[in-house]
Structure 1
């Protein structure tokens, strides 16, 4: 059976996610303890593990409080272990991982940070991408460079189109405005923004197919000509888009 997904709003614009099955419950990222513990209590669930995507405080700062309350084990990237809370299990991209009875792929998605990972649950059709691929956007390049992030986005873009992309933030207002500024004739984008504004659909999660149609950072080939970069490698078009977003 597919894992049950619960999306939690944390802090001002973060998302955390609970996954649940008969085998237990896990949390993806820990921005804030109260929403997580309140949801667990309301549902009568314990917490078996916390999976961390990267080291930024707004994704890990609640780990000590949640572990103290639940006894959950903590898992994160071995490459980022020196900047994460103490890990009970160190993960490496490509190594097998089982979560709640489902095989999970650990995908290396450096760019926003070095050592950032995403978690793909193929049986349930879920991918937890945090600050790599985001709703109508991608993470700012704090530690990595454009070629690194482009390679990471290509790894995620290779997933099935019906995969639900569970990203780390609600940046829809800014991301959507930028996307519309560089892709103003995109009817799918216009429809998505209208549905979000009318509260008919959430900012995230969204399917990879939706991101392919509306996210400018996955549409480098389609936007190259309008940026005056016809024939340029897609990675260079992506780099230009990321620079433009940084100044937007």
Structure 2
């Protein structure tokens, strides 16, 4: 099983899960369908299913799957708040998909746990805007109680070698916040250095693994004394609630403003911006 990471828009990801023997593929969150169709044609892949984690409010991605529905016979599996907590396994060739109901960021948010029969590769989970590398999604349509269940009971119970493919490239700013929460966490420092190097090379930081996330993601470290000390809480749900509020208000360090004489030089045409 191969997962192709496709960067789109400003910081979004969409994915192709490819059954290499048959060249059949499953798309996850294809917010830019024409780009996906180009890749399918170029690589000789046939689309068998489309998995959508959640709805988007941005006009850039409204109706994102419409062209795929018109141009493909692929099965469409969409987020749906009426679905039960977890669904029976779906199967597309040798690729298995377990749909996990994870409401909070949106009321119908789904995550998808994916693995291939008779394959030694680690399984994958596509987490949309529920779990990020070193972070979690905002509680737009849900509660801290829901997100706690999503992170601990649903995603946290998956095999620890599961590869995590999230919906956005937020890793550096998430790690900066993680460092504020746990300034003594060496794993956070190492990961931040690595993520900056990846960014310099214009490379994605996905996937991580669940085992790695438990080492540096504060939203999965709710019982750690350092995280509880930062929040001033002991109850895991209250720790999560405070963490999310602090993250919502967290600002990256501002760039140093240009000196007044430099601004004058720009205005007079003596310097180029």
Alignment of 1:146-185 (within 5 A): 146-154=144-152, 155-185=154-184
The DSSP-based 3-state class of the residue aligned with 1:37 is helix
Matched, 1:108 2:108: no
Matched, 1:128 2:123: no
Q: Over aligned residue pairs, what C-alpha RMSD do you find?
A: 2.1
For the 8 Å contact 1:25–1:100, the answer to whether it is kept is no
Write the distance in 2 (CA, Å) between the matches of 1:92 and 1:160.
19
Matched, 1:31 2:24: no
Instruction: Tell me which residue corresponds to 1:61.
Output: 63
For the 8 Å contact 1:77–1:92, the answer to whether it is kept is no
Write the distance in 1 (CA, Å) between the matches of 2:131 and 2:93.
24
Q: Which entry has the higher C-alpha Rg, 1 or 2?
A: 2
Write the distance in 2 (CA, Å) between the matches of 1:38 and 1:195.
31
- The superposition leaves residues 95-117 of structure 1 with CA deviations (integer Å, 9 ceiling, x where unpaired) of 23113323321111111011211
Distance change >3 Å, CA 19–CA 57, structure 1 → 2: farther
Write the distance in 1 (CA, Å) between the matches of 2:98 and 2:49.
16
Instruction: Tell me which residue corresponds to 1:51.
Output: 51
Q: Which runs of 5+ in 2 are unaligned?
A: 117-121, 251-273
Displacement of 1:162 after TM fit?
0.7
Alignment of 1:1-248 (within 5 A): 3-21=1-19, 22-23=21-22, 24-57=24-57, 61-79=63-81, 93-123=86-116, 124-154=122-152, 155-199=154-198, 202-222=204-224, 223-229=227-233, 232-248=234-250
The DSSP-based 3-state class of the residue aligned with 1:104 is strand
Write the distance in 2 (CA, Å) between the matches of 1:115 and 1:176.
27
Write the distance in 1 (CA, Å) between the matches of 2:145 and 2:84.
24
Write the distance in 2 (CA, Å) between the matches of 1:30 and 1:144.
24
TM-score, with length taken from structure 1: 0.87
Misfit runs of 4+, over 4 Å: 57-60
TM-score, with length taken from structure 2: 0.79
Displacement of 1:126 after TM fit?
0.3
